[in-house]
Amino acid sequence: MSEIKIGLQIWAKENVTITKFRNGDDIPFVPNRNEWSELTSPAYCINENNNYLYNYWAIIDSRNTAPLGWRIPTENDWDILINHLGGKDNAGYKLKSIDGWLNEVHNFETGQIITQNFGGTNEVGFNATPIGFRHMDGNYATDLLCAFFIPESIDENLCKYLFLFSGNEFGKGGMWKKDGFPIRLIKE
């Protein structure tokens, strides 16, 4: 796995494309929308742009989604990264890819469609791209969003996650455990 050093941390250079837990068991592949919406157990899917997305149960499973020597980053890991890059208001811009963050905005007064680039500098080689996510209902959302689960539950249905959107900031919040996001690993 390619890696990058950011401050004192070593991160995977790209999102994982893992189909097996560390012990060799298969992570269930669930392409069907209706099946995905009913899940309460580990699963992954692949969206139309070949991005691997995993639900919350896949990242907390005791069989471990990360290969030996790697792990799912905690909220503290992300906080260290964000603080190293100047805080939540600036870190996103430094982590986001330069390309891929284009959005067309319709100006209703003029009728023009304006293309805006919400990309970053990719200053440290993290190359966070906007891959969207899989919604809990099984449908794919193609938003200008790059988000990752944090392995911490809020309640029966929600867990913590963090995200990069069209701005420069890194946001945190709660998201449905049934949603599907990519996984970016940190070295143990």
Taking only the tens place, the pLDDT of each residue in 25-74 is 999 999 999 999 999 999 999 999 999 999 999 999 999 999 999 999 99
CA–CA distance, 176 with 155 (Å, rounded to integer): 10
Domain boundaries, the chain: 3-187
pLDDT of residue 53: 97
pTM: 0.91
Taking only the tens place, the pLDDT of each residue in 130-160 is 998 999 999 999 888 889 999 999 999 999 9
> What confidence tier does 119 reach under pLDDT thresholds 50, 70, 90?
confident
Confidence check: pLDDT of 122 > 90? yes
CB crowding 148-183: b at 16 or more within 10 Å, else e:
bbbeeeeeeeebbbbbbbbebbbeeeebbbbbbbbb
Confidence check: pLDDT of 165 > 90? no
